[in-house]
Every structure is written in C-alpha cells, then in structure tokens.
Amino acid sequence: IKFSATEACTEFCALDARAFDVVKGDGFKNLAKTLFGVGRGISTSSIEITDLLPHPTTISRNITRLYEEYKIQLIDICEQLTSFCLIVDQCTEAHTGISYCGIALRYVGEYSQLFTFIIGCFPYNAASHSAQHFREFVNKILEEYKVQLDSTKFVVTANEPRILPALREQCSRVGCADHYLNNQLQHAFQSDQIHLNKNIIEKVDCELVQNSFNQVKKVVSSVRHSHQQQQFSQKFQTYSETRFGDTIIMLDIFREVFFELPEVLINRKTLNDYNLIEKELLDDT
C-alpha cells in the first residue's frame, strides 16, 4: 500500500507539475483522508474517481463561501482575546504600482500554544500614505474583526519612516528584529553610506566584500539562467531584497562549489567574473 501511494504521489507531482512538498501540506492530507474515507464508505467498486472530484469552476465558486465561514470563526476568536500581538507591514508591487497592507495576528492559547492567523493582505486604497491615513486604514480592518488596540496590545512593524508615526499611539510598537538584521546585511553588502541619524552620515567601509558579493551574484545569475545547475553538487540559490539573510545561504553554497565552477563555466564573461573572486575573502565573509 505504501509503495502504491508513493508511486501515485510521484506521478501526481510529475504529471501535474506540482512541487514535491505539496504532499506535506495540510490541505493535501485532508483531501487524501477524505477520499480514503469516502472510498471505505462506498460498497460498490465500480464508481469512477471522476464522479467524486468537483469541476474547477465548482471549486472557484466555493472559495468565497469557505473564506466567509472561516472569517466568522476568526472573528469569534478575536472577540474573546484579551492579549495578542499584531504584525503590520506595507509593500508596493513593482510592476503594477499597487500598494498592499498585510496584517497578521498572534496569540498564546490556554496551553501555551502559539497561534498565528493571517488576517489578510489588503490593497491599500487610503487617500494617501500619511501616518494618519495609514492608521485609519489599519483600524478599519481591525474593527471588522472586532480587534481593538490599546497600550497593552503589541504591534510589530518594520522600521519604515511612514509606519513608525502611524503606530506610535494606543499600542506598544515593537521594531521587527528581522528587519533590523536585514538592513544590517543589506548595508554591509550594498550601501556606500548609512544615516546614523538626521544629521550624521557614515561611510560603509566594505568595498572588498561588496565587490566580491557583486561578482558572486553575477556568476550565480549566469549559472541559473544557463540551466547548468544540475552539473554541480549543490543547487545555487539567489536572494530577495526583502529577505537579505538568504545572501548568507547563497554565499555559503557558492563557497562549497567554488572549485567545481571552472570546469562548467563556458561563458567568458562569467569566467572572468569568477576569476575576480578571492576564495580566502569568500571564506572570511
């Protein structure tokens, strides 16, 4: 039975181009459990699986209904909370220019279990990005979920200048540690100077590391775009500007496969970029 299930899952990922770890998802497990239960409850063996599976249109029509049902349940939970922490962030999609506000809620349950709910990622449609309008936008969403902020409630946010004043009152704002660390790494690898405060600017003296980092980026990008990943013992990884910690993973993998690169690189420009990288400096970084 286990072998048959493994074969079916493998074919499912291959035929439908799904990620291998889709079988680890709670939704997939619930689907498999439900279909297994339905199969056990059917006395005849002549039924086709296609008779049980819904049409994609039917699924799309049920998404909104399911969302509303779970939203009501979340509102009931929020109404009973006496202490919680909100995570609030804002971003702008580069291609469309549309801004979004994301809000998540975390609290510790009766048995010291941490619960996290994504309230939503909402298109930002306030009149402006001023602190007043941003706070009003957040409050309006929280009111819908019966959540009220006061000095005993914590809000974790990025340290953006437009967010700081918006959540300075009627809550206890906590700066995001991930954001602090992300900025430190980003400054070290990319910035020429940083603002210590409004009046003091300090030069970032990391020229050697930044040059090495830029060369590594070029080589990694070239390898990924030329589909040469399979020729290395490890898979190259890039990073996101908002998740700069991934640069450490990128550099570490690059360091591990450093001596494998000359035999694979065929582009002369990429090979020149590779030759400019000092292995000792890379190890120290």
Residue 9 vs residue 50, higher pLDDT: 9
What is the full DSSP assignment across 23-59? GGSHHHHHHHHHHHHHHHH-S-S---GGGTSPPHHHH
* Spatial distance between the Cα atoms of 107 and 184, rounded to a whole number of angstroms: 29
pLDDT digit string, tens, across residues 175-203: 888 877 877 777 778 777 776 666 777 77
pLDDT confidence band for 208 (50 / 70 / 90)? confident
pLDDT digit string, tens, across residues 48-96: 778 788 888 888 889 989 999 999 999 999 999 989 999 999 888 878 8
SS3 91: strand
pLDDT at 281: 82
The DSSP code for 102 is E
Q: Kindly state the percentage of the chain with pLDDT values over 90.
A: 28
Is the predicted pLDDT of residue 41 greater than 80, yes or no? no
**Averaged pLDDT for residues 218-236:** 85
Single-letter amino acid code for the residue at 240: S
CB 117 within 8 A of CB 123: no
pLDDT digit string, tens, across residues 120-162: 999 999 999 899 999 999 999 999 999 999 988 999 998 777 8
Residue 228 vs residue 58, higher pLDDT: 58
pLDDT at 132: 92
| Pairing relationship of beta strands 154-157 and 193-195 according to DSSP bridges | unpaired
pLDDT at 45: 64
pLDDT digit string, tens, across residues 239-280: 777 677 788 888 899 999 899 888 888 788 888 888 888 888
In whole numbers, what is the pLDDT of the chain averaged over residues?
A: 86
pLDDT at 191: 79
Is the predicted pLDDT of residue 39 greater than 80, yes or no? no
pTM of this structure: 0.66
pLDDT at 84: 93
Sign of CA dihedral 250, 253, 258, 262: negative
* Spatial distance between the Cα atoms of 72 and 145, rounded to a whole number of angstroms: 9
Cα dist from 70 to 63, 118, 135, 140, 278, whole Å:
11, 12, 26, 19, 54
pLDDT at 246: 81
Is the predicted pLDDT of residue 35 greater than 70, yes or no? yes
| Pairing relationship of beta strands 99-108 and 114-123 according to DSSP bridges | antiparallel
pLDDT at 242: 67
CB 154 within 8 A of CB 171: yes
Domain segments of the chain as ranges: 2-53, 71-175, 207-284
pLDDT at 72: 95
**Averaged pLDDT for residues 205-226:** 85
pLDDT at 44: 66
CATH number for 71-175 (one of 3.40.50, 1.10.10, 3.30.420, 1.10.3470): it is 3.30.420
What is the full DSSP assignment across 200-249? -EEE---HHHHHHHHHHHHHHHHHHHTT-GGGSSS-----BTTBTTHHHH
